[in-house]
Amino acid sequence: MRVWAENGDIRATVTNTPPTRPMLALPGSGHGLLGLRERAELLGGTIESGPTGDDGYRVQLRLPQKKP
């Protein structure tokens, strides 16, 4: 995880490596990233997420330091 300030924004990036074992079938609502995106937008920010080139996954957050 990396967190830093840039051009009046607070930014964070979380990157997972490729899985090393099969995924477990766990229950979930399927709204995790959607909920994070909605919260970021309420604060005037954004979230981008998606797979990396090496089969990992990355989530990038940008929030303004001052509330809109």
pLDDT of residue 68: 59
Delimit the domains of the chain by residue range: 2-17+32-64
The Cα–Cα gap between 68 and 50 comes to 27
pLDDT one-digit tens code per residue, 5-64: 999 999 999 999 998 998 888 887 778 999 999 999 999 999 999 999 999 999 999 999
Q: How far apart are CA 60 and CA 47, in angstroms?
A: 6
Q: For the segment 25-37, what is each residue's pLDDT rounded down to a tens digit?
A: 888 777 899 999 9
